[in-house]
Amino acid sequence: GFDGNTTIVIQVNDSPDSKPPNWTNLTIPVHVGALNQAPVITAPATLVVPKNDVRMFVPLLIADPDGEQMRVNMSVGHGKLSLPHPELIQPLLGTAFSE
């Protein structure tokens, strides 16, 4: 069963510009205080940043069965593989469902 912890893994690549594509990964830990309140994570499976766009916002929504929600908007820029540092996101998610 759910032990109160899960992770979100976000992967970004520059395909088809590079062969093989360059990848950047970010793993975000999520902690839930009550073990019976496993979060539901809603995010788009795949998004593509158009070549001429500087950045795209990637919406993530994390919700538990009580209705508590944490929405995180991440930006991904074209022309470089970059994601926010986990330190910038983890404190927000780590306290989202504390009881």
Distances (CA, A) of 47 to 16, 34, 86, 87: 14, 32, 20, 24
Residue 98's pLDDT band (cuts 50, 70, 90): very low
Question: Is residue 9 packed enough to be buried (19+ CB in 10 Å), middle (13-18) or exposed (0-12)?
Answer: exposed
Domain extent listing, the chain: 5-94
Mean pLDDT over 80-85 rounds to 53
pLDDT for residue 22: 74
Alpha-carbon 28 to chain mean position: 7
Residue 96's pLDDT band (cuts 50, 70, 90): very low
pTM, to two decimals: 0.52
